[in-house]
């Protein structure tokens, strides 16, 4: 399944440069979701005034997008909401090597575990944001996880450093929460959607066994905030507790008010 997933990403993103010119990153996300017969349900859309204002900020302000990473198609659910071209996605070293030839290094920032490369990594993020761009981050790491407990995850080491060193207090932190139960339902299907998505995207839309499936809805919640809110959490936390505090802040942001 991991091999299939990477083929989906590579083949779907192989036309990213053309798609950006023709319809932006939103068109790339829509193409893959259509092939998978996945319908994103952006739950904040019901509050039209707030939703429209937040989306305007998402697509104009400098900063970062952060999201949980419960499983497949996460990236495309986010790309589907982006109407801007100045976006870079942080990719693990293995994924960077795999996707850079297809989509171009200019759309990716390579994560690193090498301490000697850490400053260069942080600088590439900061420079892009300082120039008005947007950086997409999955703080739980690059490995897909399907977990029905939305609180059972932890942001990786390094995210607190990005919050403190790469963002000015007024920079945007836009959070997406992808419903893990909806992703788990997709993964648990007897006939997965991945092969049909590969065929439709890489070959021809008519070669898609997903056309026999019902549309699957995936709920996506979102929240606009600014970096000073997150930086205060880092400042108020002990070193060994910073990631846990940031993770809790993320999940608490999406809990219904009492």
List, for residues 186-213, the tens digit of each pLDDT value: 988 999 998 888 778 777 788 899 999 9
Share of the chain above pLDDT 90, in %: 48
**φ/ψ of residue 59, rounded to 5:** -100, 10
Rounded (to 5) percent helix, strand, coil in the chain: 50, 15, 30
For residue 170, give both structure tokens.
């007024």
Helix intervals (H) in the chain:
2-13, 16-22, 24-36, 48-58, 74-79, 93-103, 118-130, 159-165, 180-187, 194-202, 227-235, 242-253
For residue 218, give both structure tokens.
């995936």
pTM of the model: 0.88
Report the distance separating Cα 257 and Cα 152, nearest Å: 20
* Residue 127: closest CA among 99, 159, 101, 88: 88
| 131-to-3, 84, 125, 141, 147 alpha-carbon distances in Å | 36, 14, 10, 25, 36
For residue 84, give both structure tokens.
């801007």
Task: Confirm if 25 and 19 have CB atoms less than 8 A apart.
Answer: yes
List, for residues 206-233, the tens digit of each pLDDT value: 889 999 999 999 999 999 999 999 999 9
Residues 6+ apart with CB under 8 A from 148: 180, 181, 184
**φ/ψ of residue 248, rounded to 5:** -65, -40
Q: What is the CA radius of gyration of the chain?
A: 18
Domain ranges of the chain: 41-190+221-253
List, for residues 141-189, the tens digit of each pLDDT value: 654 455 445 445 678 878 999 999 999 999 999 999 999 899 989 988 9
Residue identified by tokens 């198609």 is 73
List, for residues 116-126, the tens digit of each pLDDT value: 889 999 999 99
């Amino acid at each position: 399944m991991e091999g299939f997933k990477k083929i989906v990403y590579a083949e779907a993103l192989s036309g990213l440069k053309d798609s950006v010119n023709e319809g932006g990153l939103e068109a790339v996300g829509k193409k893959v979701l259509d092939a998978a017969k996945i319908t994103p349900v952006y739950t904040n859309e019901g509050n039209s005034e707030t939703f429209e204002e937040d989306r305007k900020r998402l697509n104009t302000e400098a900063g970062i997008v952060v999201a949980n990473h419960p499983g497949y198609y996460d990236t495309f659910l986010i790309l589907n909401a982006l109407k801007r071209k100045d976006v870079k996605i942080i990719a693990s070293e293995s994924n960077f090597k795999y996707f850079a030839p297809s989509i171009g290094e200019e759309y990716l920032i390579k994560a690193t575990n090498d301490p000697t490369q850490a400053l260069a990594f942080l600088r590439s993020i900061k420079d892009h944001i300082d120039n008005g761009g947007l950086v997409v981050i999955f703080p739980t790491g690059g490995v897909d996880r399907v977990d029905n407990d939305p609180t059972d995850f932890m942001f990786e080491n390094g995210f607190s450093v990005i919050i403190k060193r790469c963002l000015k207090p007024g920079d945007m932190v836009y959070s997406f929460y992808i419903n893990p139960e909806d992703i788990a339902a997709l993964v648990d299907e007897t006939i997965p959607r991945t092969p049909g998505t590969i065929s439709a995207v890489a070959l021809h839309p008519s070669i898609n066994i997903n056309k026999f499936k019902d549309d699957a809805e995936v709920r996506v919640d979102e929240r606009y905030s600014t970096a000073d809110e997150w930086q205060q959490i880092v400042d108020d936390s002990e070193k060994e507790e910073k990631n846990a505090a940031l993770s809790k802040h993320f999940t608490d942001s999406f809990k219904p008010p009492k």
